[in-house]
Amino acid sequence: MSIRRICSLIGAACFFCACFLPAAQAADAIGSGAKAFAQLGQELPTPNAYRTASGAPGHAYWQQRADYRIDARLDAEARRIDAKARISYQNNSPDALRYLWMQLDQNRFRADSLDQRSRTTSSDRVTYRNLREHQAVSPNTLGYTGLSFTLDSGEALPFVVVDTMARVDLPKPLQPGEAVTFDITWGFNIVQRDTVRSRGGYEQFDESDTQIFFLAQWFPRLVVYSDYEGWHNKAFLGSGEFTLEFGDYDVSLTVPDNHVISSTGALQNADEVLSPAQRQRLASAGTDKPVFIVTPEEALANEKTGASGERTWRFVAENVRDFAWASSSKFIWDAMVHEQPGAKYDRVLAMSFYPNEAEPVWSKYSTHAVAHTMDVYSRFSFDYPYPTAQSVNTWEGGGMEYPMITFNGYRPDPPRAKEDDPEAAESRAEAQRAYSRRIKYGLIGVVIHEVGHIYFPMTVNSDERQWTWMDEGLNTFLEYVAELEWEEDFPAFRRISDSLVQETNVLDMIPEYMTSPNQVPVMTQSDSVLRLGPNAYSKPAAALTVLRETVMGRELFDFAFREYAQRWKFKRPTPADFFRTMEDASGVDLDWFWRAWFYTTDHVDIAIADVRAYRLKRNDPDFDYPLDREEHARDNPVPINIERNRAAGIVPRESRFEDLKDLYSDNDRYTVTNKDRNDAAKAYDKLEPWEQEVFAKAIEEDSIFYFVDFDNLGGVPTPLLLHISYEDGSTRDLELPAEIWRRDAMAVTHRLIESKPIASISVDDRHQTADADYSNNRFPPRIHESRLAVYKAKTKKRNLMADLLHELRDSGKVDGDEDDRAVPLDAADGR
Ligand SMILES: [Zn+2]
């Protein structure tokens, strides 16, 4: 019997014999449950006509609208954009607006920007990155130039630039229901790839002196004016992203004529910019596999021949909150069709754009990952709402989303061969073929993530600058769902490599963060979050995974989550709208969950502190007293001094002098007398008839009463998923809901009535609650067995595919030419 001890117990009156907490702890415990389970009253805004208490848009919900017609020219030589636009701004608010605010994100790269001037450092040191950024920013040649705002009447509008924003003063207030149309001009020098941490810019390929241009946050955009914040005036500091107004875009992009463009929207003039063969390939795209529109060979030719002039590509996008594009002479382009019968766009083009340097992984995985994302995300939300979904290869570590277009890093590892190596070319080709596990899964993961953002927040338009978690958290959660549907052991979390530990379960990964010092709650403004990755990405993803798989169950969770997505697509939700909708649609009170996971830095750590087992006393002194005597003897061993007296040969005086003996000498307090028997009978007679009946039945059943003490060491209330093993080898699972913590959130005792002896009890064996310490989840505890490698400071890096290819080649099983392209995408057949 491994349960700690067995006692007996009399009737139902003394059920509360659990150990008592020390006084200070007891004082903390009082009210802890009430606090943990208090409704989110003050934390959430008061419902109103725009946003209801149920979490849905209210009857008076409104949002502004901004339509853009843009003409832009990319000067690839000068790395510069010059552009003009006509903007039509529709005031749907009930308020008259005397001025408009515009976002000027490129101004963040100015030496005197709020971002640059508010940098802090944690130690006295300077890195190469610091130096590079300083050198890029200090000439002050970045940021917007040539800004002008003009009414369509020709009247110039005065404006004031405030860091990354500009206030544009209107000649007369824009009344509710009115629209204003105005023209703007602007230009800027494009920042070189992450010299300054940026989401766009250009990447330079020195060997071929070619570039890929990523144009994001590249035009003055309307600041959001909302019912809950008025103008969202908050400078761009780099971390907090954006929130924007929806509108239609008609954009003409003039670029060198050897460039290919990937862009938000649908291409309007394919006949002017694509060859007949390319147009035919685009039309032939199907649902099986990607086809090349621009082949690797054509991309190489574009890159080598250079530009002979310019060409204008025109794209139209309906109901988008932003517009981004990429342009390069290096782009390979492939496409496949994602079908969604009955949707507004029933045949969506999933497409990828990448240089030859990105092969062979990109043609193999990118577009399939785009299509897979739509398969999974649409099930959880709504049909993909646009005609195209694109993945563009950007520099290492990149990953950024815009409507219909995403910029994604990951290319095969750079060749390791030295320049003077005679076999350099072959080694380089081999190194590129032998992409690492990190590149493969990194690529698939980032494409799913960024394309997922086209749903959240590009369609469900939450405010990224205030709440990173609302898009990153929800999106990371769905990315995780999609990754496990791509491959069961997808290394979804942590660093991915052949030599490092991989985590497939987010709930095993997140406790490390949730138990770390220097945390802030998930409900923290984006620019003030410490450790954005775990705070705004994986912790909310873990929380939603716990909600779906453990607290609510899939049926209720999926219905409520989809309801949230449906209610707020093309609208502007706040955290309260999400919290309220998830409760409203599921019928599950989740305030305690939001409070613990989103408003505190507590973590999950449940311990089984103690288990006590009892059988009922029979109210029969002849049966009960001898057992009492046995128990007392067991729990009170003979004092050591008596044992030592015996060993020393000391015979007690009472034993040496017969005369000293009396009745007490032969009878202890467990001796049964007739009075005891009569008293027991009288006590039984005094019981109510129903009490006698209940008692008789209980004695007959001879159940075992277990009192299990649970400690909540981490602070987050959580359901207790018990696995009970019996001495006869059988088992049973039992789920105690989180509401068990509603009175005392720190320590509770639960009573189990069992018909057979328990051997052990454990909690959360399947790791589905994010428990930080499993060593205290089992009673009785168990010695943990594993193996140790003798410690050595450095482990060698592995690239499994490189090693395997090497071995196969050495053994003659692969002939170099045959394996030249791991991807069987064949340009020649014109797919
Ligand atoms: Zn993201």
Q: Phi first, then psi: give them for residue 202, nearest 5 degrees.
A: -125, 150
**433 CA distance to ligand 1 centroid (A)?**
28
Least confident of 185-194, 302-311, 390-399: 390-399
DSSP assignment of 237-254: -SSS------EEEEEEEE
Q: How confident is the model at residue 494 (pLDDT cuts 50, 70, 90)?
A: low
Count CB neighbours of 301 within 10 A: 13
Least confident of 325-329, 366-370, 410-414, 673-677: 410-414
The mean pLDDT value for 85-99 works out to: 98
**604 CA distance to ligand 1 centroid (A)?**
25
**469 CA distance to ligand 1 centroid (A)?**
9
Q: pLDDT tens digits, residue range 528-546?
A: 888 888 899 999 999 999 9
Considering just the CA atoms, what is the radius of gyration of the chain in Å?
Answer: 35
**286 CA distance to ligand 1 centroid (A)?**
29
Least confident of 251-255, 591-595, 633-637, 820-824: 820-824
**332 CA distance to ligand 1 centroid (A)?**
25
Whole-number pLDDT of residue 15: 34
Whole-number pLDDT of residue 826: 27
**219 CA distance to ligand 1 centroid (A)?**
22
Whole-number pLDDT of residue 10: 40
The mean pLDDT value for 550-556 works out to: 97
Q: pLDDT tens digits, residue range 594-606?
A: 999 999 999 999 9
Whole-number pLDDT of residue 789: 84
Whole-number pLDDT of residue 605: 98
How many percent of the chain have pLDDT more than 70?
90
Burial of residue 511 (number of CB atoms within 10 Å: 0-12, 13-18, 19+): buried
Whole-number pLDDT of residue 827: 28
Q: pLDDT tens digits, residue range 317-353?
A: 999 999 999 999 999 999 999 999 999 999 999 999 9
Across the chain, what does the average pLDDT equal?
Answer: 89
Nearest of 331, 334, 249 to residue 284 by alpha carbon: 334
For the chain, the 3-state helix, strand and coil shares in percent, each to the nearest 5, are: 30, 25, 45
Whole-number pLDDT of residue 819: 32
Q: pLDDT tens digits, residue range 199-256?
A: 889 999 988 899 999 999 999 999 999 999 999 887 787 766 778 999 999 999 999 9
**448 CA distance to ligand 1 centroid (A)?**
10
> At residue 6, does pLDDT exceed 60?
no
Burial of residue 498 (number of CB atoms within 10 Å: 0-12, 13-18, 19+): middle
**467 CA distance to ligand 1 centroid (A)?**
12
**320 CA distance to ligand 1 centroid (A)?**
18
**457 CA distance to ligand 1 centroid (A)?**
9
| Strand bridging mode 310-320 / 221-222 | unpaired
The residue with greater pLDDT, 503 or 761, is 761
Provide the phi-psi class of 487: left if phi over 0, else alpha when psi is between -120 and 50, else beta: beta
Counting every residue written for the chain, the total comes to 831
**304 CA distance to ligand 1 centroid (A)?**
35
The mean pLDDT value for 72-90 works out to: 97
pTM attached to this predicted model: 0.88
DSSP assignment of 508-540: HHHHHHHTSSS---SSS-GGG-SSHIIIIIIHH
Q: How confident is the model at residue 3 (pLDDT cuts 50, 70, 90)?
A: very low
Whole-number pLDDT of residue 294: 98
> At residue 784, does pLDDT exceed 90?
no
Q: Phi first, then psi: give them for residue 193, nearest 5 degrees.
A: -30, 150
How many percent of the chain have pLDDT more than 90?
74
Whole-number pLDDT of residue 831: 25
- Among 121-130, 139-148, 251-260, 494-503, name the most confident range: 251-260
